[in-house]
Structure 1
Amino acid sequence: MEKVRYGIIGIGNMGRAHALSLVNEIKGAELTAVCDISAERLEWAAERLPAGVLHYLSPAEMFEAHTIDAVLIATPHYDHPTLAIEAFNYGYHVLIEKPAGVYTKAVQEMNDAAAKSTVKFGIMYNQRTNPLYKKLRDLIQSGELGEIRRTNWIITNWYRSQNYYDSGGWRATWGGEGGGVLLNQDPHQLDLWQWTTGMMPKRVRAFCHFGKYRKIEVEDDVTAYVEYENGATGLFVTTTGEAPGTNRFEITGDNGKIVVEDNQLTFWRLRTPEPQFNAEYKGGFGSPECWKCEIPVEEGHGDQHKGILRNFTNAILNDEPLLAPGEEGIHGLTLSNAMYLSAWTDNWVDLPIDADLFHEKLMVQVNNSTFKKEAIVSAKALDVSGTH
């Protein structure tokens, strides 16, 4: 295979961006087909994409044509697992937009289908290309920080007005998006939280406020507390209702703390690890000597979406290791599902979560949603996974 022939399902905001990238900037890739039930979006494709790109009105039609090698799924959240499984059954490589899905039960079925196949499976976790988070992961995984004691991420710079939510009936609904700030704005942070530290919590206690700042049915303010197997704790705070917002990720370990804020990486490094200092120090009041180290990081934000597309293409052509394997999408989703379940049950939630119980609770919300099930069909043309 000299080139990977891509087909895109869903040509909304993100689908269009990916289409143009595949046409103009991804070596070894060729956009062969696009699929959308919206005539208006297919008209855009006819005007903006090369004449040879095929147009399909349904995924089944595109799959049956066998004109592609890989499919990029940029549809509403609920459809990601279903379409991915169908593509696996046809033998196509699959790259999905984030999040992996809405509930872990469906995503696990998708992962199981991927495991039975021999194709590549990736997810559009483009923030994994960001030099800032790559360096953070390297510092932690290499042992520079020592054993982690605490993680804190305050990510509140997601301000959204009521007008934003009113721009689409599917926005901020259980039936349309399947969640609010956790599922729409925060999937990258929930992924990076566990990807950089290499740790998933053992249990979660969360407080979700639904429609606190806006007239919406899903959560727009969340505070979650987590506990890890090694005794470390963590806090995740997020909202779309505050201005100005904050984006600060702080990780404390035996050797000091690392702070990520304002696109800078600062390592407050202890000259003597805290456990050693505590065991040896005899002077009463005192603390370890600490050095403020500004960690050099490559400028820019990395290749982002194009980087994931290049990596996925090279994985197919040259067996390059995937930066964002699709199977890992379940980790961040597990965190958001656990937070919802904790809020709905007003209790701690152990990981792995009870996937059946979460699905049951979610369906109660969906059945009471202002965006009804019958409306989901007409919404499939909407690329809500890329709107944020």
Structure 2
Amino acid sequence: MTNTCLKIAVIGLGNIAKQHIENIISAQVQGVELVAVCSRTRSELSEEYGLAHYQDYKSLIDSKLADAVIIATPTMTHFEIAKYALQNNIHVMLEKPIGLSSFEGEQLITYQKKDTKFALMLNQRTAPVFTKMKSIVESGILGNIQRTHWTMTNWFRPEIYFQVSDWRATWRGEGGGLLVNQAIHNLDVFQWICGLPIQIRGFCEFGKYHDIEVEDEVTAYLKYQNGATGIFVASTGEAPGVNRLEIAGDKGALIFNAGKLTLVENMQSTAAFNKQTNDMFGMPDSRSKPVLIDEDVNQHALVMNNFINAILHEEALIAPASAGLASLDMANAMLLSTWKNLPVNLPLNRHDYQQHLDTKIQSSSLRAKSSRQANVDMSASYR
């Protein structure tokens, strides 16, 4: 890519698309020119900023007006739009998840050409607290990981969130609910820091708190290759909810709770103390200290800037599209385990999961959108 400024278009004009547009217009995303938007109805944005407007994504892509597109449409359309853009050598930044399932995502990646960048908006990989946690775990200071536990129940969503959308929280439109929409971020960060488990036993509740057909509460038990175990708990029906991530190792623990990060270091490894002490009720001495996270970043803008630099300057992608398969595998495994009432091994048999999902989709339909007007504050949607 020899251009010094990338021409980009946004497909979809929902809440998150408008945030991407704002980041570009306010110059929080550099090296890019917004040239067009695509939506079924004409937007004031296109007139206000002199942007070309297309009602059909194929017409936009065929025009060759844009070098890259941001796809921020309902999940059920991700595959067809991204496939068409990739087939036409257009760079793609796709909103999460990569598809209705990891099987669909795996198929989509096959359409990427060698010289085309395909990235996924896994923005929480840029959150300073999570990048710090990853570096601490990788440093080995915790020793061998023994246990992981993430309770993420402050994804509360009221009924109107679902009512004003025809596709959200349906098997046909989204491929699931809590796991593939809100908690997909947590699952991505969880496996990014701690690694993928080798087995998952999931317990999903469907429409427990909302008038929806998909999951809105999940508890899952994880097993890892090294013998470590884990728990993942998530909900969109609990308020105020909890956001607590614990990573316990042989030499200490890392605890993220209510926005604060704490590192606990054992003076002697647990395994060594266990074998050597003569104290019947002894415990290794430890010291606890806060890990200060004073950096505040625009996560979406960081990922977009990385995408632009990957195209213009061959910078390594923070989240290539393929990185989105692992978290979907975990989400899909939790659902499949619930449906089968059995543990599910990873690597996931994606074809098996897809067959089960297809059965759900066959009996699923999009809902009639409510005429209620929702008050939208996107800053309140992030956890």
| TM-score for both structures, normalised by structure 1 | 0.91
Q: Structure 1 residue 334 and structure 2 residue 329: aligned? A: yes
Q: What is the DSSP-based 3-state SS (H/G/I as helix, E as strand, rest coil) of the residue aligned with 2:317?
A: coil
Q: 2:106 aligns with which of 108, 117, 121?
A: 108
Question: What stretches of structure 1 move > 3 A for 4+ residues in a row?
Answer: none
- Confirm whether residue 226 of structure 1 aligns to residue 222 of structure 2: yes
Matches within 5 A, 1:226-265: 226-265=222-261
1:46 corresponding residue in structure 2: 46
Partner of 1:200: 196
| Equivalence for 1:383 | none
CA distance in 1, matches of 2:226, 2:164: 45
Task: Within 5 Å, give how 1:253-292 maps onto structure 2.
Answer: 253-292=249-288
Contact 1:91 1:117 in 2 (8 A): no
* Deviation of the 1:348 alpha carbon: 1.0
Number of residue pairs the alignment of both structures matches: 370
Does the Cα contact within 8 Å between 2:145 and 2:228 map onto a contact in 1? yes
1:60 aligns with 2:39: no
Matched residue type, 1:143 = G
Deviation of residue 134 (structure 1)? 0.7
8 A Cα contact 2:154 2:243, kept in partner: yes
Q: Which residue of 2 aligns with 1:304?
A: 299
Amino acid at match of 1:111: I
- Aligned positions of 1:173-212 closer than 5 A: 173-197=170-194, 199-212=195-208
- The structure-2 alpha-carbon separation of the partners of 1:168 and 1:113, relative to structure 1 and needing over 3 Å to count, comes to closer
For residues 78-137 of structure 1, the C-alpha deviation after alignment (integer angstroms, 9 at most, x for no partner) is 2223322221211111111111111111100122223x4222221111111111111000
For structure 1, which segment, 212-221 or 170-179, has the greater mean C-alpha deviation from structure 2 after superposition? 170-179
Q: Which residue of 1 aligns with 2:26?
A: 24
Counterpart residue type for residue 287 of structure 2 = W
SS at match of 1:234: strand
The within-5 A match list for 1:338-357 is: 338-357=333-352
Q: Show structure 2 runs of 5+ residues with no match.
A: 370-378
Measure, in 2, the Cα distance between the counterparts of 1:144 and 1:298.
Answer: 22
Q: CA separation in 2, counterparts of 1:46 and 1:93?
A: 22
The whole-number CA distance in structure 1 between the counterparts of 2:300 and 2:151 is: 24
Q: 1:121 aligns with which of 118, 122, 127?
A: 118
Q: Does structure 1 conserve the Cα–Cα contact (< 8 Å) formed by 2:242 and 2:258?
A: no
Structure 2 length as normaliser, TM-score? Answer: 0.92
Residue by residue over 1:115-162, the C-alpha shift from the partner in whole angstroms, topping out at 9 and shown as x without a partner, is x42222211111111111110000001112111111100001122223
Paired residue type of 2:344: V
User: Match for 1:92: what amino acid?
Assistant: I
1:36 Cα deviation from its structure 2 partner: 1.5
* Offset at residue 232 of structure 1 (A): 0.7
Q: Which has the higher contact order (CA 8 A, sep 6+)?
A: 1
Aligned residue number for residue 382 of structure 1:
none
Question: Could you tell me how far apart the structure 1 residues matched to 2:179 and 2:265 are?
Answer: 32
* 1:132–1:298 contact (8 Å) kept in structure 2: no
Gaps in structure 1 of 5+ consecutive residues: 377-385
> Which deviates more from structure 2 when the two are superposed, residues 116-125 or residues 100-109?
116-125
Comparing 211-220 with 230-239, greater Cα deviation is found at: 211-220
Q: In the aligned structure 2, how far is the partner of 1:108 from the partner of 1:33?
A: 29
Q: Hey, what does 2:359 align to over in structure 1?
A: 364
CA distance in 1 between counterparts of 2:258 and 2:240 reads 14
Distance in 2 (alpha carbons) for counterparts of 1:167 and 1:118? 39
1:3 aligns with 2:5: yes
**8 A Cα contact 2:169 2:177, kept in partner:** yes
Letter in 2 for 1:46: S
1:38-68 residue CA offsets vs partner (Å, 9 max, x unmatched)? x1xx2222344x21x2111212111111111
**Which piece of structure 1 moves more, 360-369 or 167-176?**
167-176
Contact 2:78 2:99 (8 Å CA) reproduced: yes
CA RMSD of aligned residues (A): 2.0
